[in-house]
Copies of this chain bind each other. A is one copy, B any other.
């Protein structure tokens, strides 16, 4: 069965980050800290075709931690694992330490 999905055009494949609900010590975390929906980019498309035969670079890259929009995206399952496809323009930003 297929193991890898390469997105088309300016699409990006994202694995959602599920925020921990308790600390490693077992203490329950308040709901407040879970408000930002984020994910890890696992694959990006080649970009939309430009006017001059070029490709418009995709706004995020593989490995980026990205903020996810509240709505939209397409749910896909690869090896029973859930991923989401987004157009790069729908990704509001990237997260850094």
A-side residues, CB < 8 A to B, are 1-9, 11, 13, 32-33, 35-36, 38, 43, 45, 49-54, 56-57, 59-60, 65, 67, 69-70, 74, 76-78, 80, 85, 88-89, 91-97
Closest CB of chain B to A24's CB: distance in Å?
A: 14
Q: Which residue in B4, B11, B13 is a CB contact (below 8 Å) of A96?
A: B4
Q: Of B1, B9, B33, B36, which one neighbours A89 at CB under 8 angstroms?
A: B9
Copies in the assembly, this chain: 7
Chain B positions within 8 Å of A74 at CB level:
69-70, 92
A5 touches B89 (CB 8 A): no
Shortest distance from the beta carbon of A48 to any chain B beta carbon, whole Å: 9
